[in-house]
Structure 1
Amino acid sequence: MFDFDREIDRSGTMSLKWDKYKGQDVLPMWVADTDFVSPPCVLSALTERVAHGIFGYSRPSPRLIELIMARLSERYGWQIEAEWLVFLPGVVPGLNLACKAWSQHGRGIITPKPVYYPFLQAPGFNDRPLLTVPMVEQDGRWLLDIEELERQAPSADLLLLCNPQNPGGTIFTREELATIDAIAERHNLVVCSDEIHCDLLLDKDARHIPYGAISAEAAQRSAVMMAPSKTFNIAGLCCSFAVVPNARLRLKLQQAMRGISADVNLLGFVAAEAAYEGGEAWLQAQLDYLRDNMMLIEQAVARWPGVSMARNQATYLAWIDVGALGLDNPIAFFEQAGVGLSPGAQFGDGDFVRLNFGCTKALLVKALARMEQAILKLPK
């Protein structure tokens, strides 16, 4: 029904991902957008709206708000109010606004490490001390070092959480989130949870739990940030939202946005509504395709001496440990082999690389073959 094997030429389309290696024989497997055509319902809605011909300032439709509320209720049993929603042009601006709104000068902001690099940048951009808590591998999953989180918490106002975790792919359980929340309660931390990958669950046995759905108390000290962008490959349309149940925190966020944060653009709203209204069958087909791609990576990594990877429960991003290969510059090594990856150092650990497998199987197989050839040529 949906052709994820279809190869689309993205050259000449102002693609950040593909223009990076323009004119080079390097396969771009780095920045987190996919090479899949967005759902037909999204394309149809955008075509219809473009035909209208006027693109003025906009606001979310009542239907989009209804769809978000229904989605959170049906998927997670989380009943939210419409007034809790704050629409944003992206989760990354949301992280920076969170630092501005919910922390004081001189007080730290805690983030896991390794993590999606804007987490590591946002405190400094807002003149706040960065406090990091290591992610540690436990039984094949990446989890926060709880003892270190407890140690850092008294010096902080805000915890930036990433669930599902990027780049590690962990889906935190309710019990794991409750442990984090107990620390947040003891030390009066606001928790800003980036949950942009919450629809991209590869582990069929796992369930995503929004931070605000842990308990009524957790909801009152947190903000959950979500978006249809990664799920439906519409990141360039820049439509995200924060769920902020606490009125005081919500007001502070809205005040921080004034004069700084742009409104969501009209086509972003249109695409989001269409995706949430009619994109579920496409999403499920995409997940099946991504699971197959993930299996190809796991099989390849198992063949590669000195390379390992924890279980990837979510996202289309593989976090691969190449530290035992002894490479001076892993990214340059794989670029020379014809594969462009994201550097682990950018996320906080230079022994890793991140591979985006949101692509056709043909492209992934080609990339894995190039990586394998390069790895097997290394001296034993």
Structure 2
Amino acid sequence: MHPDTRQLDPLFDQHIDRTRSNSIKWQKYQGQDILPMWVADSDFKVPQAITDALHQHIDHGIFGYGSAPQALTELIVERMQRLYQWDIEPEWIVYLPGLVCGINLAVRSVCQPEHGVACPSPIYPPFKSSAKLAKRLLSKLPVTLKEQRWLMALDDSALLPDTRLLLFCNPLNPGGTVYRRSELEAVAEFAKQQELIVCSDEIHCDLLLAPGCQHIPFASLNDDAAQRSITLLAPSKTFNIAGLGASMAIIPNPTLRREFVRTKAGVVPDVNVLAYTAAQAAYEHGQPWLEKQLDYLRRNKATVEQAINNMPYLTLAPIEGTYLAWIDATALPVSSPFKFFEQAGVGLSPGADFGNPGFVRLNFGCRHQTLLEALKRMEQAVTTLQAHQMVKE
């Protein structure tokens, strides 16, 4: 593997010690020589505008109950129109203290106990657990590789009777696929034919890394798609503020929205005041920082794709969006690729959590130097294993 010698942006290349910051990402392997490349938060310091806004709020010195700032709502409405030509109304927005609770609320508000939920597989683990926690039946729509892109099969025979909700993910986690308009239209037609509500997780929509990719909100396709949609969004992955908990559901259909809000009442807490402050600063002032982050992530993406595809046993399809690499390790002659790489000093996300134990997921939202060290350890591990296999043969 030959490192890229181009100058790195110091804004994202600085070393920040997270081992004493109560970070679940870094605490997992505290005291061990294992690089944490698993959970989807990045190691980048947030835009200065977010820090400044939080300082200003903290200096005020009072942290009582708060409400959603009108300015934040206006920023979201403007952002949806400017970026996606999606005209939304302020009352469609339901603020949430996290996106995962939005998935769970969608399941419980759309589906009665006798109804079922469908989702892609492999998929982000809370999709599956949301059905299990609510005691709803789950149908899995296989995600397969088609022309080097991971796509969900639209197979009605895979749906259990009385399935009412499709949990959808775009960009896809894992896999990184950014759905094209024609592909989204096929999903919308499938949902219409099967009379499904679609809860679309679009949290990674700002993190598009492949040339020519464009995010298209599912609900923006047409009025039918809008009326059967719950769209989940957040600035958390984009600006690395997941720990603050500022997310939103955009629900055009008033009946769906009322039931979603009713299910939320008394169970899911309001967004805390600092999260609102951070979200508003992110959307108002964060774009220049985001453009620089995307440049840095694209470089990391290229490094990961080249390195992994040059290693024995491993393959990686091109990543279109997210900072997450879905690595095919099914050819690796070990019982657990996750444990194999963990023993080599790289802590990845186990593919079993997503639905395929032969894969691992690598988070490349980190310093380039950290990424190079992780890839070096992985390369040494698989090369050594290959040499031992050849000796055996």
Q: TM-score range by the shorter chain?
A: over 0.9
Mapped partners of 1:149, 1:305: distance in 2: 38
Query: Where does residue 189 of structure 1 map in the other structure?
Result: 196
Which amino acid in the other structure matches residue 364 of structure 1?
A: L
Query: Where does residue 184 of structure 2 map in the other structure?
Result: 177
For the 8 Å contact 1:159–1:191, the answer to whether it is kept is yes
Query: Where does residue 224 of structure 1 map in the other structure?
Result: 231
The CA deviation at 1:11 is: 1.2
Query: 159-168 or 325-334: which moved more?
Result: 325-334
Out of 55, 59, 73, the residue aligned to residue 47 of structure 1 is 55
C-alpha change, 1:365 and 1:108, in structure 2 (3 Å) is: same
Query: Where does residue 267 of structure 1 map in the other structure?
Result: 274
Query: Where does residue 26 of structure 1 map in the other structure?
Result: 34
C-alpha change, 1:341 and 1:195, in structure 2 (3 Å) is: same
Query: Where does residue 84 of structure 2 map in the other structure?
Result: 76
Query: Where does residue 94 of structure 1 map in the other structure?
Result: 102
The CA deviation at 1:2 is: 5.8
Query: Where does residue 363 of structure 1 map in the other structure?
Result: 370
The CA deviation at 1:336 is: 1.0
Which amino acid in the other structure matches residue 86 of structure 1?
A: V
For the 8 Å contact 1:35–1:359, the answer to whether it is kept is yes
How many positions carry a matched residue from both structures?
Answer: 379
The CA deviation at 1:251 is: 0.1
TM-score, L = length of structure 1? 0.98
DSSP 3-state at the match of 2:335: coil
For the 8 Å contact 2:119–2:168, the answer to whether it is kept is yes
Out of 339, 344, 347, the residue aligned to residue 337 of structure 1 is 344
Query: Where does residue 3 of structure 2 map in the other structure?
Result: none
The CA deviation at 1:154 is: 5.2
Which amino acid in the other structure matches residue 220 of structure 1?
A: Q
For the 8 Å contact 2:139–2:160, the answer to whether it is kept is no
Mapped partners of 1:302, 1:226: distance in 2: 32
Alignment of 1:114-263 (within 5 A): 114-146=122-154, 148-149=155-156, 151-152=158-159, 155-263=162-270
For the 8 Å contact 1:159–1:190, the answer to whether it is kept is yes
Out of 326, 332, 355, the residue aligned to residue 319 of structure 1 is 326
Determine if the alignment matches structure 1 residue 6 to structure 2 residue 11.
no
Query: Where does residue 292 of structure 1 map in the other structure?
Result: 299
The CA deviation at 1:149 is: 4.1
Query: Where does residue 283 of structure 2 map in the other structure?
Result: 276
Residues 94-117 of structure 1: CA deviation (Å, up to 9, x unaligned) = 000001000121221001000000
Structure 2 gaps of 5+ residues are 1-8
RMSD: 1.0
Query: Where does residue 310 of structure 1 map in the other structure?
Result: 317
Residues 180-223 of structure 1: CA deviation (Å, up to 9, x unaligned) = 11111112110000000000000130110101101011100101
C-alpha change, 1:244 and 1:153, in structure 2 (3 Å) is: farther
The CA deviation at 1:343 is: 0.1
Percent sequence identity over matched residues?
A: 49
DSSP 3-state at the match of 1:3: helix
The CA deviation at 1:70 is: 0.5
TM-score, L = length of structure 2? 0.95
Which amino acid in the other structure matches residue 143 of structure 2?
A: M
Structure 1 gaps of 5+ residues are none
Mapped partners of 1:203, 1:17: distance in 2: 26
Query: Where does residue 359 of structure 2 map in the other structure?
Result: 352
